[in-house]
Amino acid sequence: MELAVVNTTGKKTSKKVKLNADIFGIEPNDHAIYLDVKQYLANQRQGTHKAKERAEISGSTKKIKRQKGTGTARAGSIKSGTRVGGGRIFGPRPRNYGFKLNKKLKQLARKSALAYKAKEEAILVLEDFKMDAPKTKEYVSILNSLSVSDKKTLLVIAENDANIAKSASNLQKANVTIAYKLNTYEILNANNVIFTESSLSKVDELFN
């Protein structure tokens, strides 16, 4: 698949790039995508939830009533989980929701996500550019030129650029990432993935 490289004004340049078939042309593996997205979302969870159990509730340890002869069920502690104000039975405890995945599976998931975007023709290649200072208005102008300002976009750059990242940080639908941090969830969550020329080369290196 061959794409024309566009500049920041949205005009096609004389340059063209060919998407690597080993990355953008594979048969997507849905299960690999599912596992990688599941891991990403699990890693976002803080896991700091905690409920007080029977042993942690403040209250008397005195037996509520005599064992027999009341005509009702026996009852011991007022802190029992079956009583109002008692401890939570099997309540949530702090835990880590993360789990491990093989590197090859994660790589397959990312390739599969990119292959889906290529099939949807939702990939753009942008000429390398720099920003002298963080300017949201200037970044919005670029998105308008590419006709994607009303869509969720993911801009992939080759190296960390604080000015570009800060320019997009206030935009709800715009996201910026570095090539080596590219993940399956962000690719699928975007309507359009925009690669700079140099980042596309970085992606080829990383996946091959």
CATH of the domain at 195: 3.40.1370.10
- Token pair listed for 170: 């206030």
Q: Which residues pair with 63 in a beta bridge?
A: none
Average pLDDT, the chain: 92
Task: Assess whether 16 and 82 both reside in one domain.
Answer: no
Instruction: Check residue 97 and give its pLDDT.
Output: 95
> What is the total count of domains within the chain?
2
pLDDT digits (tens, 9 = 90+) for 128-167: 888 889 999 999 999 999 999 889 999 999 888 899 999 9
Instruction: Check residue 93 and give its pLDDT.
Output: 94
CA dihedral 90, 96, 102, 104 (to 10 degrees): 120
Rounded to an integer, the average pLDDT of 15-39 is: 93
- Count Cβ atoms within 10 A of the Cβ of residue 44 and give its class: 0-12 exposed, 13-18 middle, 19 or more buried: exposed
Task: Assess whether 61 and 120 both reside in one domain.
Answer: no
Task: Assess whether 85 and 165 both reside in one domain.
Answer: no
Instruction: Check residue 90 and give its pLDDT.
Output: 92
Q: Which domain holds residue 23?
A: 2-45+101-207
* 169 close to 162: Cβ distance less than 8 angstroms: no
Calpha distance 200→187 (Å, rounded): 14
Task: Assess whether 165 and 201 both reside in one domain.
Answer: yes
Task: Assess whether 129 and 26 both reside in one domain.
Answer: yes
Instruction: Check residue 161 and give its pLDDT.
Output: 87
Task: Assess whether 128 and 192 both reside in one domain.
Answer: yes
Describe the crossing of helices 103-119 and 30-44 by its angle, rounded to 10 degrees: 110
Task: Assess whether 59 and 39 both reside in one domain.
Answer: no
pLDDT digits (tens, 9 = 90+) for 46-85: 999 999 999 999 988 889 999 999 999 999 899 999 999 9
